[in-house]
């Protein structure tokens, strides 16, 4: 009789275990039994798919989150940048957004918010106020909408108008590093007199002059608020005298042969090489040049390169000591994610955007909009100089981040026209017409 009782007891225990595991019960439903917790499914999409250090750093923090949270089944998809926008647009149209996804600052995040596909991440920022407070001024601007909530924390920074200069060349020819427009034009003259191109420029893809030069010069003339009003067609126009004046400063560079011959027919990469090989004294470019030169140039070539901001403009309404740029993309939270999944999704956003991740991204020679200390031995000397410069300057708008697609194309092509001798007034009128069309309901 004893063996039968034992078998019966075993069957009873098995039936109790099976009952406890059945029906997909969560940890809470199962009365707190740790071994019976149902896994939470999370999806994250991003475009850090490459082999560069920045992409590897971001993916490593996603992998670490998965290891630290065995209760999560994480579906992480790294989608190449070329196809990322389209993939996201496709799922947005079907209202099937991933729980967490990389979103670009500017029109994309605004459109997703307007379509009610995002929900704020303010609560995780407030929960880690020491993290929130170390973002640079303006970091959250593209992700704050009329409700006052914050919808992403940027993983990078776009800095587009850094003035790179060859210190050895300046010293050799006894030229002062320009802090005023008068000093800039004096430097242009001296270098031309000595057979040296003053400023390397590769404007074959015509966004370069717009992104790196005119936005920063124009902001010094007009001030930021004027530009935002003109972009919104609300009390300012691109035919106003201050913008004509701003285009005039660009034309002054052209007329005084600040750029090398044929600048409209070479690309930005060729211009970078022209500069680093000692053929030009200066180059006005973005943070991408730091990455490109780190990959293509020696430390010996870079040791004489210094960085600063563009000079001030006499009587200008805008601030000096500024660089055009702004927050890069960051991780956003789907409006459909809720409950435990939302709680863990916010943890994931913090894990990939928090202080340790910001430091790691910075140490991959990529700009971040975050005040962190970096190990100088892990980055190039030029990046280290630029990183500290950007931390100490103000940020002003890049024109094509605010203009309509049509208007951005007009100013891009218009600057090429000015470089070929075209009048500034005609460019201003075409820009105004294009932006006005985009503002018409």
Q: Which carries the bigger pLDDT value, residue 427 or residue 51?
A: 427
Structure tokens at 268: 């930005």
Element at 228 (helix H, strand E): helix 224-232
Give the whole-angstrom CA distance, residue 367 versus residue 290: 9
Q: With 60 as the cut, is the pLDDT of residue 380 above it?
A: yes
Q: How confident is the model at residue 33 (pLDDT cuts 50, 70, 90)?
A: very low
pLDDT (tens digit, 9 = 90+) per residue, 178-229?
A: 999 999 999 999 999 999 999 999 999 989 999 999 999 999 999 999 999 9
Q: With 60 as the cut, is the pLDDT of residue 44 above it?
A: yes
Q: How confident is the model at residue 165 (pLDDT cuts 50, 70, 90)?
A: very high
Give the whole-angstrom CA distance, residue 217 versus residue 397: 11
pLDDT (tens digit, 9 = 90+) per residue, 320-330?
A: 999 999 999 99
* DSSP for residue 370: B
Q: How confident is the model at residue 18 (pLDDT cuts 50, 70, 90)?
A: very low
Proportion of the chain above pLDDT 70, given as a percent: 91
Q: With 60 as the cut, is the pLDDT of residue 3 above it?
A: no
pLDDT (tens digit, 9 = 90+) per residue, 228-285?
A: 999 999 999 999 999 999 999 999 999 999 999 999 999 999 999 999 999 999 999 9
Q: What is the pLDDT of residue 246?
A: 98
Q: What is the pLDDT of residue 38?
A: 83
Q: How confident is the model at residue 43 (pLDDT cuts 50, 70, 90)?
A: very high
pLDDT (tens digit, 9 = 90+) per residue, 360-379?
A: 999 998 999 999 999 999 99
Is 282 in a helix, a strand, or coil? strand
Which residues are registered as beta bridge partners of 306?
165
Q: What is the pLDDT of residue 441?
A: 60
Q: What is the pLDDT of residue 7?
A: 37
Q: How confident is the model at residue 25 (pLDDT cuts 50, 70, 90)?
A: very low
Give the whole-angstrom CA distance, residue 291 versus residue 157: 13
Give the whole-angstrom CA distance, residue 88 versus residue 98: 9
Average pLDDT over residues 51-63: 93
Find, among 212, 380, 382, the residue nearest to 305 by Cα.
382
Q: With 70 as the cut, is the pLDDT of residue 12 above it?
A: no
As a whole number, the mean pLDDT across the chain is: 90
Q: What is the pLDDT of residue 419?
A: 97
Q: With 90 as the cut, is the pLDDT of residue 410 above it?
A: yes
Task: Label the pairing between strands 322-327 and 157-159.
Answer: antiparallel
Q: How confident is the model at residue 107 (pLDDT cuts 50, 70, 90)?
A: confident
Proportion of the chain above pLDDT 90, given as a percent: 80
Q: How confident is the model at residue 37 (pLDDT cuts 50, 70, 90)?
A: low
Range in 7-16, 47-56, 288-297, 334-343 with the lowest mean pLDDT: 7-16
* Verdict on whether the full-model pTM lies above 0.85: no
pLDDT (tens digit, 9 = 90+) per residue, 110-137?
A: 899 999 999 999 999 999 999 999 999 8
Q: What is the pLDDT of residue 291?
A: 81
Q: With 80 as the cut, is the pLDDT of residue 22 above it?
A: no
Q: What is the pLDDT of residue 36?
A: 55
Q: How confident is the model at residue 51 (pLDDT cuts 50, 70, 90)?
A: confident
Residue 204 makes CB contacts below 8 A (sequence gap 6+) with: 264, 265, 266, 267, 268
What own/partner pairs with CB < 8 Å and gap ≥ 24 does 254-257 have? 254/418, 254/419, 256/185, 256/188, 256/189, 256/192, 257/188, 257/192, 257/198
């Amino acid at each position: 009789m004893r063996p039968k009782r034992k078998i019966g007891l075993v069957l009873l225990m098995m039936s109790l275990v099976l009952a406890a595991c059945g029906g997909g019960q969560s940890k809470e439903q199962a009365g707190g039994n740790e071994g019976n917790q149902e896994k939470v499914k999370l999806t994250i999409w991003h475009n850090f798919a490459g082999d560069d250090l920045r992409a590897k750093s971001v993916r490593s923090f996603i992998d670490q989150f998965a290891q630290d949270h065995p209760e999560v089944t994480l579906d992480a998809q790294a989608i190449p940048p070329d196809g990322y926008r389209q993939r996201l647009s496709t799922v947005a149209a079907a209202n099937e957004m991933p729980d967490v996804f990389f979103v670009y600052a500017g029109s994309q995040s605004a459109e997703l918010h307007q379509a009610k596909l995002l929900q704020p991440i303010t609560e995780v920022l407030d929960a880690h106020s020491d993290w929130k407070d170390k973002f640079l001024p303006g970091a959250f601007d593209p992700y704050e909408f009329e409700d006052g909530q914050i919808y992403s924390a940027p993983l990078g920074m776009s800095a587009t108008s850094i003035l790179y200069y060859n210190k050895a060349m300046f010293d050799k020819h006894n030229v002062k590093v320009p802090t005023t427009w008068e000093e800039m034009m004096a430097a242009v003259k001296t270098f031309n007199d000595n057979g040296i191109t003053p400023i390397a420029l590769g404007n074959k893809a015509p966004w370069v002059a717009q992104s790196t030069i005119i936005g920063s010069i124009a902001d010094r003339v007009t001030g930021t608020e004027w530009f935002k009003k003109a972009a919104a067609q609300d009390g300012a126009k691109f035919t106003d005298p201050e913008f004509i004046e701003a285009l005039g400063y660009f034309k002054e560079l052209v007329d005084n042969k600040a750029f090398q011959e044929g600048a409209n027919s070479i690309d930005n990469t060729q211009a970078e090489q022209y500069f680093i090989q000692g053929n030009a004294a200066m180059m006005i470019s973005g943070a991408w040049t730091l990455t490109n030169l780190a990959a293509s140039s020696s430390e010996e070539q870079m040791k004489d390169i210094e960085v600063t901001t563009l000079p001030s403009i006499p009587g200008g309404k805008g601030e000096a000591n500024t660089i055009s740029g702004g927050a890069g993309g960051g991780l956003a939270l789907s409006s459909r994610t809720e409950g435990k999944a939302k709680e863990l999704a916010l943890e994931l956003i913090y894990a990939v955007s928090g202080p340790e991740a910001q430091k790691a991204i910075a140490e991959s020679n990529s700009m971040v909009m975050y005040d962190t200390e970096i190990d100088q031995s892990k980055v190039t000397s030029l990046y280290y100089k630029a990183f500290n410069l950007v931390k100490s300057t103000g940020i002003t708008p890049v024109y094509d981040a605010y203009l309509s697609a049509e208007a951005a194309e007009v100013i891009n092509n218009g600057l090429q026209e000015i470089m070929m001798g075209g009048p500034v007034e005609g460019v201003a009128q075409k820009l105004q017409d294009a932006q006005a069309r985009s503002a018409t309901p």
